[in-house]
């Protein structure tokens, strides 16, 4: 009997009807003779609502209390799903993250998982029980409840699948796989059958929220193959694994947009070694991840530095910077929203001209680039937020990723293959 881990995200458990749908799917798997561990998120919108309640009280809530608050969303879902399964004749039992044995460090709201106890899980599974686990939460060394960052139920599922050596880890969501771009923004995007960890990691870290970045990183490190598929149909999804050689032949395999970034400018920074390092050290000390960076050529011994950070960290970042740089006479500007568009593909390693194709396409559409960064398999640009969606569509089309064009491309590749074999 194989062990399957099935994770259902917020939209898949949005209300009682959706929870019943999930329960029917879980029951089918269990009836087929599999051992099943189910990981669930909070119902759609619940975590956001909890966060906005805290925001109505204070701009910088105590992270410990935030974890106590946010973890309640998943706790509601496990109870409702376990009850629903029980009424369908499935012996289900719910487990909060702490009770399931997920142990973490003490870093509230972004805790790292240390180990998975799971002492009684195997026993429950041997008894034929379906174990319904709350995603997104664990227990710190101090005995406190912790959470793993937004989208963290993905991480819970991957960690549970890895630790229990599950045969399959299925991430059920509201799209039927990973697409070449967010299908809500690019209607012509097409589903990818397979994707390498590297590409999934770059897409996720560039804003494709279909999988949490940390979850993909963990899957890669521990070699946990997973499938992203729909909870609303039975179509095959996208398999994410170590290598997906079929994609090497294309330069770009996907386009991502991140609308949750702001840019912060520090003006009149002393133009000498160590000044920029001081700014980024200050960010690192408060755990803020800096992404795109632009430094202007210095004039009169002064330089301007601009960089992007997640919008959720903007308030803390600005506050700390003001305290740090005010002594040197530098000025911290108000953070402004940006959209970051990234084109991603392992094929970039062997294809040249990706940057020029990307930048040309944006220029032709009259979209101005504010910042740029490149890596071996990714190029990102920041644009004004109002141009974000259009820039995504433009980039997607420029690399021939549109549904119709990719079908044409495949057909012409088939034709040339069959010619070659004649």
Report the site for ligand ADP in 148-177 (rule: CB under 6 A). 151, 173-175
Q: Does residue number 207 form part of the binding site for ligand ASP (CB under 6 A)?
A: no
Choosing among ligand ASP, Mg ion, ligand ADP, none, which partner's interface includes residue 162 (Cβ < 5 to 8 Å by kind)?
none
Rounded to whole angstroms, the Cα distance separating 245 from 311 reads 36
CA–CA separation, 140 and 138 (whole Å): 7
| CA-based end-to-end distance of the chain | 47
If the CB atoms of residues 41 and 71 are measured against ligand ADP, the closer one turns out to be 41
Answer yes or no whether residue 10 interacts with ligand ADP by CB under 6 A.
yes
* CB-nearer residue toward ligand ADP: 118 or 177: 177
- Residues facing 344 on adjacent strands: 254, 378
Residue 11 found at the interface with ligand ADP (CB under 6 A): yes
- Alpha carbon 411 to chain centroid, angstroms: 33
Structure token pair of residue 196: 């390498």
- Considering the complex, state which of residue 48 and residue 246 has its C-beta at the smaller distance from ligand ASP: 48
User: Which among ligand ADP, Mg ion, ligand ASP, none contacts residue 98 (Cβ within 5 to 8 A by kind)?
Assistant: none
152 contributes a contact to ligand ASP by CB under 6 A: yes
Applying CB under 6 A, among 135, 177, 207, 254 the residue interacting with ligand ASP is: 135
Among 4, 26, 27, 41, binds ligand ASP (CB under 6 A): 41
- Selected range binding Mg ion among 8-16, 50-58, 91-99, 131-139, rule: CB under 5 A: 8-16
Other Cβ atoms less than 10 A from the Cβ of 412: the count is: 10
**Which of residues 122 and 184 has its CB atom nearest to ligand ADP in the complex?**
184
* Least distance between Mg ion and beta carbon 375 (Å): 24
Question: Which of ligand ADP, ligand ASP, Mg ion, none has residue 136 at its interface (CB below 5 to 8 Å by kind)?
Answer: ligand ASP
Query: How many angstroms separate the CA atoms of 250 and 192, rounded?
Result: 13
| Cβ at position 151, least distance to ligand ADP in Å | 5
Angle (deg, nearest 10), helices 275-285 and 314-325: 140
Please report whether residue 179 would count as binding ligand ADP according to CB under 6 A: yes
Q: Which one, 178 or 321, has the nearer CB to ligand ADP?
A: 178
Query: Which of ligand ASP, ligand ADP, Mg ion, none does residue 135 bind (CB under 5 to 8 Å by kind)?
Result: ligand ASP
List the one residue out of 77, 7, 80 whose CA is nearest residue 46. 77
Binding flag, residue 104, ligand ASP (CB under 6 A)? no
Residue 9 within binding range of Mg ion, rule CB under 5 A: yes
Binds 104: which of ligand ASP, ligand ADP, Mg ion, none (CB < 5-8 Å by kind) = none
Q: Which residues contact ligand ASP by CB under 6 A?
A: 9-10, 41-42, 47, 73, 135-136, 150-154
Q: Which residues contact Mg ion by CB under 5 A?
A: 9, 151
């Amino acid at each position: 009997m194989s062990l399957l881990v099935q994770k259902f995200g917020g939209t898949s458990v949005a209300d009682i009807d959706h929870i019943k749908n999930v329960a029917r799917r879980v029951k089918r798997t269990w009836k087929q003779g599999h051992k099943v561990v189910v990981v669930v998120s909070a119902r759609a919108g619940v975590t956001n609502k909890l966060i906005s309640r805290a925001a109505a009280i204070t701009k910088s809530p105590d992270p410990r209390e935030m974890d106590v608050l946010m973890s309640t969303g998943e706790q509601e879902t496990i109870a409702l799903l376990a009850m629903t399964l029980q009424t369908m004749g499935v012996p289900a039992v719910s487990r909060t993250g702490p009770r399931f044995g997920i142990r973490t460090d003490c870093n509230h709201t972004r805790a790292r998982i240390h180990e998975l106890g799971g002492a009684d899980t195997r026993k429950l599974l041997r008894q034929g029980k379906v174990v319904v686990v709350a995603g997104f939460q664990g227990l710190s060394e101090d005995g406190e409840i912790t959470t793993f960052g937004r989208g963290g139920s993905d991480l819970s599922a991957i960690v549970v699948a890895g630790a229990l050596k599950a045969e399959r880890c299925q991430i059920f969501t509201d799209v039927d796989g990973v697409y070449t771009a967010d299908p809500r923004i690019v209607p012509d995007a097409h589903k990818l059958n397979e994707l390498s960890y590297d590409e999934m990691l770059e897409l996720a870290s560039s804003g494709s929220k279909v999988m949490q970045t940390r979850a993909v990183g963990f899957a890669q490190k521990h070699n946990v193959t997973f499938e992203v598929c729909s909870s609303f149909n039975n179509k095959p999804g996208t398999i994410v694994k170590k290598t997906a050689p079929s994609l090497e032949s294309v330069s770009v395999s996907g386009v991502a947009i991140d609308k949750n970034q702001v840019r912060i400018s520090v003006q009149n920074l002393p133009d000498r070694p160590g000044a920029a390092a001081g700014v980024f050290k200050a960010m690192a000390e408060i755990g803020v991840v800096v992404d795109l960076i632009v430094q202007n050529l210095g004039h009169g011994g002064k330089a301007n530095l601009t960089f992007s950070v997640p919008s959720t960290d903007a308030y803390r970042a600005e506050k700390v910077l003001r305290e740090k740089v005010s002594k040197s006479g530098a000025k911290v500007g108000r953070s402004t929203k940006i959209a970051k568009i990234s084109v991603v593909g392992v094929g970039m390693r062997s294809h040249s001209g990706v940057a020029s194709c990307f930048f040309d396409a944006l220029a032709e559409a009259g979209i101005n680039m504010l910042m740029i960064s490149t890596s071996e398999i990714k190029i990102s640009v920041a644009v004004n937020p109002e141009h974000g969606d259009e820039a995504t569509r433009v980039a997607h089309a420029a690399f021939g990723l549109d549904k119709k064009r990719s079908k044409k491309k495949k057909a012409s590749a088939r034709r040339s293959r069959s010619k070659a074999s004649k």
